[in-house]
């Protein structure tokens, strides 16, 4: 092992070492093996790939700005965020390097060397070796002191994957009785309720947010709400009045943090006093309206490279922003979507661990590993199940409906099984789209808390039934028929 000048060994044992350094490099002698990539945020590709193959990454620079870390992208070398591992083969000998703290920890790997480095200074690195499952267990055990006390993840109904931005309060209100009867504990209103992105007032379709929340509570469920508190589009009140409260470039103009809704959006500088005041007021108003579950979306924007009021790296600014939200919503369930995965441990209750799902397994028009499709969501979720002891891992919604759905029964079952292993269960199916049989299946599935045991990298035992996720990770041989 080679470490940067001034490196200090903190702890040594038979199977791992802790070292404080800005850079550690280990010769691994596993040429022809596999590399585990830990993606930067929820939507970033994660998982195992051939060490002698191309790196797992998002090729399109515009999409990469939205769904990964453009500052650490490498088109030629395997790379990742916070941790990485190399293995001879599935469930064999492995070597892991992972940060336990740091400003912006990164990992690189090639045919003979695994490297961890932090351009922001010294980080505490764990280097672990041995059986694949054991090295991941060692890393999670080292991260465990960061974690929040756990509480059961709610059963969530979310409006997004059926209504999208066309959602209205009437769509939700007319099925509250039925949703409660199926066993949902939280009804989460998604994108489409607000006046604009960065203008978090209810639009005419929703009216009084507190009244909507009261109606959901009257049915015995927790009101949930989608909000993207760290971003704004042009025309948003704060961006127009206080552009200085946003991450900016050398010329003083706000930097683009990503693209959606037909154009760019910009990132709140969470270190700026004006931004923090705005953020506290926003969260306080939502909690005051009775919202008990917040889906915090596009929050990776807080980490976008750029200039800030205080000298902070993006990962640090991200965690600061999440901590402000937590302070103003101490009792609410906080789910991060687009969140930086390891920096979320200890401030958020749950984290999305995949790109968006869709009622289609593979979109053959794109090879983007972060594109919204069920296979991409499934792959990302399976790859991050090792995090489940540290934070609730959300694999995105499952499907019970067969209308408006191109998934076959095996694919639907894979999504449900990975959600059962994760322990986070949600769906977006409108009750009117379900048959009586499908409603019965949903009711029974939502009521169960399965006994789960890991058998190998991709094999799990769920209530005694062995499930192999491996076939679902393979590229499908056949395209959908076009008629």
CB environment 427-453: b (16+ within 10 A), e (fewer): bbbbbebbeeebbeebeebbeeebebe
β-strand pairing of 426-427 with 452-454: unpaired
Query: Which tokens belong to 10?
Result: 């903190």
Q: What pLDDT score was predicted for residue 482?
A: 39
SS3 for 327?
helix
The reported pLDDT for the residue numbered 1 is: 78
253 Cβ contact partners less than 8 Å away, ≥ 6 residues apart: 243
In the beta sheet, which residues pair with residue 145?
none
* Residue ranges with strand state E in 322-363: 333-337, 350-352
Q: Judge contact between 344 and 322, C-beta under 8 A.
A: yes
3-state secondary structure of 142: helix
pLDDT at 208: 97
**Tokens read off for 429:** 């199916």
Instruction: For residue 2, name the pLDDT band (cuts at 50, 70, 90).
Output: confident
Cut 0.95: pTM above it: yes
Separation of first and last alpha carbons in the chain: 58
Long-range contacts of the stretch 435-443 (C-beta < 8 A, 24+): 435/402, 438/400, 438/401, 438/402, 439/182, 439/400, 441/400, 442/182, 442/183, 442/400, 443/181, 443/182, 443/183
> pLDDT for 361-411, tens place per residue?
998 888 999 999 999 999 999 999 999 999 999 999 999 999 999 999 999
**How far is it, in rounded angstroms, from Cα 414 to Cα 210?**
37
**Angle, in degrees to the nearest 10, between helices 273-288 and 314-328:** 40
pLDDT over 70 (residue 56): yes
Whether the per-residue pLDDT at 481 is higher than 90: the answer is: no
Q: What is the pLDDT of residue 365?
A: 86
Length of the chain measured in residues: 483
Q: Tens of pLDDT along 176-219?
A: 999 999 999 999 999 999 999 999 999 999 999 999 999 999 99
> How confident is the model at residue 474, as a pLDDT?
85
Closest CA to 230 of 278, 182, 190: 278
Q: What is the pLDDT of residue 246?
A: 99
Q: Are strands 2-3 and 16-21 parallel, antiparallel or unpaired?
A: unpaired
Tell me how far apart the alpha carbons of residues 364 and 132 are, in angstroms, rounded to a whole number: 33
Per residue in 81-140, pLDDT (tens digit) is: 999 999 998 878 999 999 999 999 999 999 999 999 999 999 999 999 999 999 999 999
Nearest Cα residue to 153 out of 286, 348, 299: 348
Residue 57 CA to residue 196 CA, distance in Å, equals: 31
Q: Give the tens place of pLDDT for each residue, 280-310.
A: 999 999 999 999 999 999 999 999 999 999 9
Joined together, the tokens standing for residue 219 give 């049915």
Q: Check if the beta carbon of residue 143 is closer than 8 Å to that of residue 342.
A: yes
Q: Which helix (H) or strand (E) holds 128?
A: strand 123-131
CA gap 372, 42 in Å, rounded: 12
- Average pLDDT, integer, range 63-73: 95
Q: Which two tokens stand for residue 322?
A: 């999440």
Least confident span in 5-19, 223-237, 425-439: 5-19
Q: Which CATH number fits domain 156-473: 1.10.10.10, 3.60.10.10, 2.60.120.10, 3.20.20.70?
A: 3.20.20.70
Region 467-473 average pLDDT: 97
Q: What is the pLDDT of residues 145-176, one digit of tens each?
A: 999 999 999 999 999 999 999 999 999 999 99
pLDDT of 483 reads 34
Distance from C-alpha of 477 to C-alpha of 162, rounded to nearest angstrom: 28
Find all residues with CB under 8 Å of 447, minimum gap 6, and list them: 183
User: Which residue in 218, 188, 194 sits closest to 207, CA to CA?
Assistant: 194
Over pLDDT 90: what percentage of the chain?
Answer: 95
Can you list the positions of beta strands (E) in 261-406? 263-267, 293-297, 333-337, 350-352, 392-394
> Where exactly are the structural domains of the chain?
2-146, 156-473
């Amino acid at each position: 092992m080679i470490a940067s000048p001034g490196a200090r060994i903190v702890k040594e044992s038979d199977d791992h070492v802790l070292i404080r350094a800005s850079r550690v490099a280990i010769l691994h002698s596993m040429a022809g093996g596999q590399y585990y990539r830990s993606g930067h945020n929820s939507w970033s590709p994660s998982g195992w790939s051939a060490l002698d193959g191309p790196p797992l990454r998002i090729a399109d620079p515009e999409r990469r700005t939205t769904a990964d870390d453009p500052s650490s992208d490498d088109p030629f070398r395997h790379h990742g965020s916070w941790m990485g591992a190399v293995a001879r083969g599935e469930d064999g000998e492995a070597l892991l390097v992972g940060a336990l703290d740091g400003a912006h920890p990164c990992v690189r790997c090639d045919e003979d060397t695994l490297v961890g480095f932090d351009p922001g200074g010294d980080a505490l690195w764990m280097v672990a070796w041995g059986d694949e499952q054991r090295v991941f267990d060692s890393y999670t055990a080292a991260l465990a002191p960061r974690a929040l006390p756990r509480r059961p993840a709610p059963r969530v109904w979310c409006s997004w994957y059926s209504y999208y931005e066309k959602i209205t309060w009437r769509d939700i209100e007319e099925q509250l009785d039925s949703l409660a009867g199926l066993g949902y504990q939280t009804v989460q209103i998604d994108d489409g309720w607000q006046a604009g992105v960065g203008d978090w007032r209810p639009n005419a379709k929703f009216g009084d947010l507190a009244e909507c929340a009261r109606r959901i509570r009257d049915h015995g469920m927790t009101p949930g709400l989608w909000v993207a508190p760290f971003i704004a589009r042009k025309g948003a009140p704060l961006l127009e009045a206080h552009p200085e409260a946003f991450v900016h470039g050398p010329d003083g103009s706000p930097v683009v943090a990503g693209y959606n809704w037909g154009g760019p959006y910009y990132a709140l500088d969470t270190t700026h006093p004006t931004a923090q005041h705005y953020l506290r007021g926003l969260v306080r108003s939502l909690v005051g309206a009775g919202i008990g579950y917040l889906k915090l979306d596009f929050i990776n924007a807080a980490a976008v490279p750029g200039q800030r009021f205080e000298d902070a790296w993006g990962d640090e600014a991200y965690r600061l922003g999440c901590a402000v939200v937590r302070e103003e919503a101490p009792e609410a369930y906080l789910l991060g979507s687009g969140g930086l995965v390891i920096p979320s441990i200890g401030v958020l209750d749950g984290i999305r661990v995949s790109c968006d799902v869709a009622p289609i397994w593979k979109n053959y028009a794109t090879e983007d590993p972060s594109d919204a499709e069920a296979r991409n969501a499934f792959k990302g979720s399976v790859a991050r199940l090792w995090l489940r002891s540290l934070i609730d891992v959300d694999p995105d919604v499952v499907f019970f409906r067969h209308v408006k759905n191109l998934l076959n029964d095996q694919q639907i079952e894979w999504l449900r099984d990975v959600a059962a292993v994760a322990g986070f269960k949600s769906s977006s199916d409108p009750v009117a789209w379900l048959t009586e049989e499908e409603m019965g299946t949903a009711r029974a599935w939502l009521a169960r808390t399965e006994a789960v045991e890991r058998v190998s990298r991709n094999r799990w035992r769920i209530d005694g039934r062995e499930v192999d996720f491996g076939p679902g990770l393979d590229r499908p041989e056949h395209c959908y028929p076009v008629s």
